A = this chain, B = another copy of it.
């Protein structure tokens, strides 16, 4: 790998993407962190994203804004839909239509401008139980798309979409994070965190995260309300 192999890393401020960034750095990538403010309820995540990007050695961090509230359809962007606090069957209402397609499209555009051929994102086995756009088939289909969609894909070396957490559950991700020295107390996973980044402890994301610390056998450093 060249000394200057660049990657665009999607960083949300949660523990999955923080761990992904740390893995990309460990693999030797020069990392450009990208966050997207899509009108999500948990805007405090974006502040966490900036801290995470700086702490884990990204060379820069950019935030793109697009207001998906104009389209509605998800508890994360539509305040009329309540964030559930009990497990639900099937795809949850916190699913944001085509969200990861959009995030990867933006990452792809920036990667092409930077001359990067790699993109990292933190989707994993916990997510893809519920969200279609976190499954291996989605990642593979996006990689194929990237290589016909872009000047770089058509004229040069192809793109690679890296999802290094794909086979991992939350406990395994947390163990990876601790091995890599990620400060998990600085990450925010909660769908309904307060303005100081304190987690609700009740939403699906909080429950999965707490269970992950239990599975990893380590103390949960999360600040709860």
Listed in ascending order, the chain A residues whose CB lies under 8 Å from chain B are 62, 64-68, 70-73, 90-91, 95-102, 105-106, 108-110, 112-113, 132-133, 135, 137-138, 141-142, 144-146, 148-151, 153-155
Contacts and interface: CB of A to CB of B under 8 A. Distances in A.
12 contacts: A64-B70, A66-B66, A73-B112, A91-B151, A97-B150, A98-B109, A101-B109, A102-B105, A132-B149, A133-B148, A138-B148, A141-B141
Contact of A73 (B95, B96, B97, B113): B113
Nearest to A101: B105
> In the assembly, how many copies of this chain are there?
2
B145 A141 contact: yes
A113 B97 contact: yes
Given A101-B149, A149-B132, A149-B138, A64 B67 contact: yes
SS of A interface (majority): helix
A68 B112 CA distance: 13
A71 B62 CA distance: 9
A159 to B, nearest CB: 10
A44 to B, nearest CB: 21
Nearest to A144: B141
A132 B109 contact: no
A109 B97 contact: yes
